[in-house]
Amino acid sequence: MQKELPDATIIETNTFYAGDRYTTEQHRKTLEVNGWTEFTTVDITDEHGTVMLPVNDGKWFTEMSMGKSLLNYDSMVVLTHFKGHVKGGFA
* pLDDT tens profile 47-91: 999 999 999 999 999 999 999 999 999 998 887 776 666 666 655
pTM of the model: 0.79
pLDDT of residue 47: 96
Answer whether 13's CB lies under 8 Å from 43's CB.
Answer: no
Q: What is the rounded distance in angstroms from the CA atom of residue 33 to the CA atom of residue 87? A: 24
**Average of per-residue pLDDT values in the chain:** 89
φ/ψ region of 35 (left if φ > 0, alpha if ψ in -120 to 50, else beta) reads: left
DSSP class of residue 5 equals S
